[in-house]
Structure 1
Amino acid sequence: MTTAPDITAPAMAAAPGQSQTPTVLRLKLSPHGVSIDHPDPERGEALMLNALGVADRDAMDGILRQLVKASVNGGRADKVNLAFMISMVKSIRPRDSVEAMLVAQMVSVHVMAMRCAKHLAHANDLAQHDSAARALGRLARTFPAQLEALSRYRSQSEPVITVQNVSVADGGNAIVGNVTQHANVIVSDQPPASTALSAPKPARARRRRNSADAKRDAQA
Structure 2
Amino acid sequence: MNTLPELSNHTAMAASGQTRAAAAPRLKLSPQGVSIDHPDPELGEQLMADALGVPDRDAMHGILRQLVKASVSGKKPDAVNLAFMISMVESIKPRDSIEAMLVAQMVSVHVMAMRCVYHLAGANAARHDSAVRALGMLARTFPAQVEALTRYRNKGEPAITVQNVSVGDGGKAIVGNVTQHAGVIVSEKSPASAQDSTSHCRTREDDCVDAEQEAQA
What TM-score results when the alignment is normalised by the length of structure 1?
Answer: 0.70
Alignment correspondent of 1:207: 213
Provide the C-alpha distance between the structure 1 equivalents of 2:173 and 2:120, rounded to a whole number of angstroms.
57
Alignment of 1:1-220 (within 5 A): 1-9=10-18, 23=23, 25-123=25-123, 125-156=124-155, 187=185, 194-196=197-199, 197-198=202-203, 199-200=205-206, 202=208, 205-207=211-213
Q: CA 1:57–1:201 in 2, change beyond 3 Å: closer, same or farther?
A: same
Q: CA 1:107–1:141 in 2, change beyond 3 Å: closer, same or farther?
A: same
Gaps of 5+ in 2: 1-9, 158-170, 187-193
Q: CA deviation at 1:44?
A: 1.2
Alignment correspondent of 1:168: none
Provide the C-alpha distance between the structure 1 equivalents of 2:173 and 2:134, rounded to a whole number of angstroms.
52
Provide the C-alpha distance between the structure 2 equivalents of 1:132 and 1:38, rounded to a whole number of angstroms.
40
Provide the C-alpha distance between the structure 1 equivalents of 2:156 and 2:48, rounded to a whole number of angstroms.
23
What TM-score results when the alignment is normalised by the length of structure 2?
Answer: 0.71
Provide the C-alpha distance between the structure 2 equivalents of 1:210 and 1:78, rounded to a whole number of angstroms.
87
What CA deviation, in whole Å up to 9, does each residue of 1:27-50 have, x standing for no partner? 222344322111111111111111
- The count of corresponding residues between Structure 1 and Structure 2 is 179
Identity of aligned residues (%): 61
Q: CA deviation at 1:203?
A: 5.9
The DSSP-based 3-state class of the residue aligned with 1:36 is strand
Q: CA 1:43–1:134 in 2, change beyond 3 Å: closer, same or farther?
A: same
Provide the C-alpha distance between the structure 2 equivalents of 1:157 and 1:209, rounded to a whole number of angstroms.
54
Q: CA 1:40–1:157 in 2, change beyond 3 Å: closer, same or farther?
A: farther
Cα pair 2:23 2:51 within 8 Å, conserved: no
Provide the C-alpha distance between the structure 1 equivalents of 2:49 and 2:72, rounded to a whole number of angstroms.
23
Q: Looking at secondary structure, tell me which structure has more helix per residue.
A: 2
What CA deviation, in whole Å up to 9, does each residue of 1:1-60 have, x standing for no partner? 10114322579xxxxxxxxxx845222223443221111111111111111111000100
Q: CA 1:100–1:143 in 2, change beyond 3 Å: closer, same or farther?
A: same
RMSD value, Cα: 3.2
